[in-house]
Amino acid sequence: MISPTPRAIFLMLLGVPLMVAIALLRPELWIISAGWIGGIAGLIVVDAVLAASLRAYHVAVDAPALLYVGGSDPADLTLRFDSGPTPRRIEILLEVNTLLETIPAIGLRGWQDRTRAYSLSLTPKRRGLGRLVKLWSRWRGPLGLTQKRHVQSLERDIPITPNIRWVKDEAIRLYSRDADFGIKTQIDRGDGSEFDALREFTTGMDRRAIDWKHSARHRNLLAKEFRTERNHNIVFAFDTGRLMSEPLGGVPKIDRAINAGLLLSFVSLRSGDRAMIYGFDAKPGLMSGFMAGQRSFTKAQDLAAQLDYSSEEANFTLALSSLAGKLERRSLIIIFSDFVDTISAELMLENVKRLTDRHLVIFATFEDQSLTEMVDAPPETTEDVTRAVIADTLMAERDTVLLRLQRMGVHVVETRPEQFGAELISRYLQIKQRDML
Residues 327 and 417 in one domain: yes
Residues 214 and 127 in one domain: no
Residues 102 and 129 in one domain: yes
Last-in-domain residue among 227, 248, 282: 227
* Nearest residue to 230 via CA among 278, 167, 293: 293
CATH assignment of the domain containing 373: 3.40.50.410
Residues 308 and 212 in one domain: no
11-44 pLDDT, tens per residue?
A: 888 777 777 777 777 777 777 777 878 888 888 8
Per-residue three-class SS string for the chain? CEEECHHHHHHHHHCHHHHHHHHHHCHHHHHHHHHHHHHHHHHHHHHHHHCCCCCCEEEEEECCCCEECCCCEEEEEEEEECCCCCCCEEEEEEEECCCECCCCCEEEECCECCEEEEEEEECECCCEEEEEEEEEEEEECCCCCEEEEEEEEEEEEEEEECCHHHHHHHHHHHHCCCCCCCCCCCCCEEEEEEEEEEEECCCCCCHHHECHHHHHHHCCCEEEEEECCCCCEEEEEEECCHHHHCEECCEEHHHHHHHHHHHHHHHHHHCCCEEEEEEECCCEEEECCCEECHHHHHHHHHHHHCCCCCCCCCCHHHHHHHHHHHCCCCEEEEEECCCCCHHHHHHHHHHHHHHHCCCEEEEEEECCHHHHHHHHCCCCCHHHHHHHHHHHHHHHHHHHHHHHHHHCCCEEEEECHHHHHHHHHHHHHHHHHCCCC
Residues 218 and 234 in one domain: no
* Packed helices 417-433 and 253-270: angle between N→C axes, nearest 10 degrees: 30
* Packed helices 369-376 and 382-407: angle between N→C axes, nearest 10 degrees: 130
Count CA within 13 A, CB hemisphere, residue 222. 14
Residues 10 and 156 in one domain: yes
Mean pLDDT on 118-130: 91
Residue 183 pLDDT: 43
Question: Over 60: is that where the pLDDT of 180 sits?
Answer: no
Residues 216 and 361 in one domain: no
Residues 214 and 242 in one domain: no
∠ CA 278-281-282, rounded to 5°: 130
Q: Supply the mean pLDDT for the chain.
A: 85
Question: Over 60: is that where the pLDDT of 186 sits?
Answer: no
pLDDT band at 185 (very low <50, low <70, confident <90, very high): very low
Last-in-domain residue among 227, 242, 276: 227
∠ CA 295-298-301, rounded to 5°: 145
Residues 414 and 382 in one domain: yes
Q: How many domains does the chain have?
A: 3
Question: Over 70: is that where the pLDDT of 433 sits?
Answer: yes
Residues 341 and 359 in one domain: yes
Least confident piece of the model among 46-55, 177-186, 253-262: 177-186
CATH assignment of the domain containing 106: 2.60.40.10
Residue 179 pLDDT: 44
Question: Over 50: is that where the pLDDT of 184 sits?
Answer: no
Give residue 208's domain range. 195-227
pLDDT band at 237 (very low <50, low <70, confident <90, very high): very high
CB 246 within 8 A of CB 225: no
Residues 217 and 284 in one domain: no
CA distance 152 to 59: 8
Question: Over 50: is that where the pLDDT of 332 sits?
Answer: yes
* Nearest residue to 261 via CA among 316, 173, 333, 184: 333
Top mean pLDDT of 6-10, 93-97, 336-340 is at 93-97
44-66 pLDDT, tens per residue?
A: 888 888 999 999 999 999 999 99
Residues 41 and 156 in one domain: yes
